[in-house]
C-alpha cells in the first residue's frame, strides 16, 4: 500500500502566507519561507505554495520566493498561481520547484496540460480544481473561486487525466476553511473514476478529518492550511495518530 501524504498549503498574497474561510476573509499566517522550513523539519511529506492573487492580478508567481524555499527545504514542493505557459513552468523548475499546479489556465486552454506533460513529464503537472456544489452538482470555479463556470467536476477531472496530469488537487469551496471535514463523497468518486492520485483540500479541522479522508474519501494525500499555520494540529502528532489508525504514513 502506498503511504498517504500530509501536505501543508501556503496561500501567498503580497509575499505573505494568508488563510481565509470559503476563499475570503484572509488573515496573515506568517512568512512563507520560514513556515516552509518549519513544516519540512516537522515531517511534512510535501508543500504546496499557491499565489492566490496571481491570476486575478494577471501576473506570474514570484521566482525569488521559490528560490528561497528551495534553499531551505529538502522535500518536494509544488508552486501554483498565474501559471499559463511552458516558459513560466521552466523558470519555476529552474528555481527549484518540483511540480507546478495549474487551474484557471488549464480550463481556459486545456492543451496547456498536454504541453506541460510532454515537456516536463506527468509527474510534474498537478491540476488544481476548485469546485462548489450547486443544486447537488459540482461545478468548477476559476480565479481563486471567484468565477463560476458550467464545467462539471467529474467530467473535467477525467479530461485532465487524459491530457496527462499526474495528480489532481481537489478543493471543495463549500468546505474550505470551515474545519468541518473534507468533501469525502466527491473525493471517493474521483478516486474510483480516475487512476491518478487525488489530493484532498478544504475542510481539515481535526485529526479525525484526516483519518476520514484517507478511509472514506480514498484520498492519496491530504492538504491543509490553517490547522497547521496556527498550531492546532502538529504534524508529528497527526502522523502518529494516523499510524495508530493503520494508515500508512512516513514517520
Question: What's residue 177's pLDDT?
Answer: 74
In a domain, 250, yes or no: no
Percent of the chain with pLDDT over 90: 75
Residues linked to residue 51 through DSSP beta bridges, in sequence order? 12
- What interhelical angle do 63-72 and 86-94 show, nearest 10? 30
Residue-range definition of the domain harbouring residue 221: 5-244
Number of domains in the chain: 1
55: left (phi over 0), alpha (psi -120 to 50) or beta: alpha
In a domain, 76, yes or no: yes
In a domain, 165, yes or no: yes
In a domain, 251, yes or no: no
pLDDT band, very low/low/confident/very high, at 23 (cuts 50, 70, 90): very low
In a domain, 147, yes or no: yes
The mean pLDDT of the chain is 90
Q: What is the CATH number of the domain that holds 145?
A: 3.20.20.70
DSSP 64-107: HHHHHHHHH--S-EEEESS--SHHHHHHHHHTT-SEEEESHHHH
Q: Is 53 helix (H, G, I), strand (E, B) or coil?
A: coil
Which positions are catalytic?
Answer: 11, 130
Q: Which tens digit of pLDDT belongs to each residue from 188-243?
A: 999 999 999 999 999 999 999 999 999 999 999 999 988 998 889 999 999 999 99
Q: How far apart are CA 73 and CA 66, in angstroms?
A: 11
In a domain, 206, yes or no: yes
* Least confident segment among 29-43, 52-66, 111-125, 155-169: 52-66
* Least confident segment among 39-43, 61-65, 86-90, 167-171: 61-65
Question: What's residue 12's pLDDT?
Answer: 84
Considering only CA atoms, which of 216, 224, 219, 225 is closest in space to residue 249?
A: 219
Q: Which sign does the torsion angle of CA 117, 192, 109, 69 carry?
A: negative
Contact 178, 21 (CB under 8 A): yes
Considering only CA atoms, which of 35, 79, 47, 86 is closest in space to residue 61?
A: 79
Question: What's residue 97's pLDDT?
Answer: 97
Q: Is the pLDDT score of 93 beyond 80? A: yes
Mean pLDDT of 130-134: 95
Residues linked to residue 139 through DSSP beta bridges, in sequence order? 132, 152
Q: Is the pLDDT score of 84 beyond 80? A: yes
Contact 30, 17 (CB under 8 A): yes
In a domain, 28, yes or no: yes
Indicate the pTM of the whole model.
Answer: 0.92
In a domain, 41, yes or no: yes
Q: Which tens digit of pLDDT belongs to each residue from 26-80?
A: 556 578 899 899 999 999 999 999 887 654 444 455 788 899 999 999 999 999 9
Question: What's residue 29's pLDDT?
Answer: 59
Backbone φ, ψ for residue 40 (5° rounding): -60, -45
Question: What's residue 179's pLDDT?
Answer: 87
Amino acid at each position: 500500500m502506498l503511504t498517504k501524504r500530509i501536505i501543508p498549503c501556503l496561500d501567498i498574497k503580497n509575499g505573505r502566507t494568508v488563510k481565509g474561510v470559503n476563499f475570503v476573509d484572509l488573515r496573515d499566517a506568517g512568512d512563507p519561507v520560514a513556515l516552509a522550513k518549519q513544516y519540512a523539519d516537522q515531517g511534512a511529506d510535501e508543500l504546496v505554495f499557491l499565489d492566490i492573487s496571481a491570476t486575478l492580478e494577471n501576473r506570474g508567481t514570484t521566482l525569488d520566493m521559490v528560490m528561497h524555499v528551495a534553499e531551505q527545504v529538502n522535500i518536494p514542493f509544488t508552486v501554483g498561481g498565474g501559471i499559463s505557459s511552458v516558459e513560466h513552468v521552466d523558470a519555476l523548475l529552474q528555481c527549484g520547484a518540483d511540480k507546478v499546479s495549474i487551474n484557471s489556465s488549464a480550463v481556459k486552454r486545456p492543451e496547456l496540460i498536454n504541453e506541460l506533460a510532454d515537456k516536463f513529464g506527468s509527474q510534474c503537472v498537478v491540476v488544481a480544481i476548485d469546485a462548489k456544489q450547486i443544486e447537488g452538482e459540482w461545478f468548477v470555479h476559476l480565479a481563486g473561486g471567484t468565477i463560476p463556470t458550467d464545467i462539471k467536476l467529474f467530467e473535467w477531472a477525467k479530461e485532465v487525466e487524459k491530457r496527462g496530469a499526474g495528480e489532481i488537487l481537489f478543493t471543495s469551496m463549500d468546505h474550505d476553511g470551515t474545519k468541518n471535514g473534507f468533501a469525502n463523497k466527491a473525493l471517493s468518486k474521483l478516486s474510483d473514476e480516475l487512476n491518478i492520485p487525488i489530493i484532498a483540500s478544504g475542510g481539515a479541522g481535526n485529526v479525525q478529518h484526516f483519518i476520514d479522508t484517507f478511509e472514506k474519501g480514498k484520498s492519496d494525500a491530504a492538504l491543509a492550511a490553517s490547522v497547521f499555520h496556527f498550531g492546532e494540529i502538529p504534524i508529528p502528532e497527526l502522523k502518529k495518530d494516523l499510524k495508530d489508525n493503520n494508515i500508512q504514513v512516513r514517520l
